[in-house]
Homo-oligomer: A and B are copies of this chain.
Amino acid sequence: MPEMVRNKQVILKDYVSGFPKETDMYMTESSIELQVPKGSNGVLLKNLYLSCDPYMRPRMTNIKGSYVESFKPGMPISGYGVAKVLDSENPEFKKGDLVWGMTGWEEYSLVTAPQLFKIQHTDVPLSYYTGILGMPGMTAYAGFYEVCSPKQGECVFISAASGAVGQLVGQFAKLLGCYVVGSAGSKDKIDLLKNKFGFDEAFNYKEEPDLNEALKRYFPEGIDIYFENVGGKMLDAVLLNMKIHGRIAVCGMISQYNLDRPEGVHNLMYLVTKRVRMEGFLVRDYYHLYPKFLEMIIPHIKEGKIVYVEDMAEGLESAPATLIGLFSGRNVGKQVVAVAPE
C-alpha cells in the first residue's frame, strides 16, 4: 500500500478584483498518496521553496485568452518552486532529483505534465532556483541582453529595482560598464541598491513629488535604457526623459495590476520624437538560452561578482500574507516562501 500523508494547501477562495487580501486565500488540509499512478508520465514532488511573483496577480482574475492561465477558485494556487522528486513515472526525472518549475502551493504536488528543470548546480542556495537561477533570473537576462540592446557606458534606469528581476538587471548593467539608477519604495531598498547591488544612484519614488524632476536630476543627459517593471506614472515620466534611439524593455507593470482600469499613459509621442523602441517580452520565449545563462551566472555568483537578496518567509501558512505583501512592496528582495527543510 502506498504511503498516504496529510497535505496542507493554499486555496484561492474566489476571483479577486482590486487589491488582493489575505482572506482571498485559505489553508486546507487534504491527503495525498506519495506515489505516481503507473504509466501517467507524472512526478510526485515534495515542495521545498515557493516563489511569490507579480505575474500571479493577473492569475487571480478571471481573464480568458490571457498570457497566463487563471487560478481556479477552490483549487491550490500554483507557481514556480523548488522541489524534490519523491516518485516519478516520467523518463526525464527520477526519485531524489531536485527540480524547479511549476508546482502547487502545497506540501506535496502530483504534477502530471511536468514543466520542470532538473537542478544541476547544488553548491548554491537551492532557493536561488526561485530567483536568480530561475524564472526571474532568466527574465532579467533575456530582458537586458536580448531586448535592451545594451552598450557600454549607456544610462540605464530600472524601476522596482530591488525586486527579484530589477536587482539583477542593475548588476548586469554595471558589469557592462553602464551608469545605473534604480527606483524603489523604501529607505531599506534604496540602501540595498546603492550599497549591496552597486547601483550608481537610487531614489525612493514615494518621496518624489515630481518623477520627471527626479529623473532629470539623475539623468541630465537622458535615459538610454529603461527596464520597465511598474507602468503608469513612472512610465509617463520616463518617456519625457528618453534619449534619442533609447529602448524600453517592458517586463511588467506591477503598479497597474490591482486597478480595474490601468492608468492612461500620455507621453507616447516621445516614442516618435526620440525614436524610441518599446518592447514587451515574456521569459517563456527565451528558455532556450537557459544553459547559456547558467554558464554565465554561476561563476559570477561563486566569485561574488553578482549578489542576490532574498526575502524568506517561513512555512506554507505564511504564503497568503507573503504574496499579498508583494503588491504593497513589503518584501525587500526576491520573495520566497520556505515550505520544508531541504
Q: Which residues of A contact B (CB under 8 A)?
A: 66-67, 231, 235, 250-253, 256, 261-282, 285
Contacts and interface: CB of A to CB of B under 8 A. Distances in A.
A93 to B, nearest CB: 30
9 contacts: A67-B273, A231-B268, A250-B271, A262-B266, A264-B264, A272-B281, A275-B280, A276-B279, A277-B279
A253 B253 CA distance: 24
A278 B247 CA distance: 10
Nearest to A68: B273
Contacts of A272: 67, 250-253, 280-282
Contacts of A231: 268-269
Nearest to A256: B269
Given A67-B273, A273-B66, A273-B67, A250 B268 contact: yes
Contacts of A268: 231, 235, 250, 253, 262, 265
Contact of A269 (B262, B278, B279, B285): B262
Max chain B Cβ within 10 angstroms of own Cβ: one of A261, A279, A280: A280
Stoichiometry (number of copies): 2
Given A278-B279, A279-B277, A266 B271 contact: no
A281 B275 contact: yes
Contact of A271 (B269, B275, B278): B278
Contacts of A261: 266
A266 B263 contact: yes
Nearest to A285: B275
Given A273-B280, A278-B278, 14 more contacts: A66-B273, A231-B268, A231-B269, A250-B271, A253-B268, A256-B269, A261-B266, A262-B269, A263-B264, A265-B268, A270-B280, A272-B280, A273-B282, A274-B280
A82 B262 CA distance: 46
A273 B280 CA distance: 7
What 7 pairs across the A-B complex have the smallest Cβ distances?
A: A264-B264, A271-B280, A272-B280, A67-B273, A277-B279, A278-B278, A262-B266
Nearest to A284: B275
A323 B319 CA distance: 62
Contacts of A278: 271, 277-279
A340 to B, nearest CB: 33
Contact of A277 (B266, B274, B277): B277
B275 A282 contact: yes
Contacts of A269: 231, 253, 256, 262
A264 B261 CA distance: 12
Contacts of A66: 273
A215 B25 CA distance: 38
A321 to B, nearest CB: 26
Contacts of A274: 67, 280
A11 to B, nearest CB: 26
A175 B214 CA distance: 48
Contact of A264 (B253, B266, B282, B285): B266
A282 B280 CA distance: 21
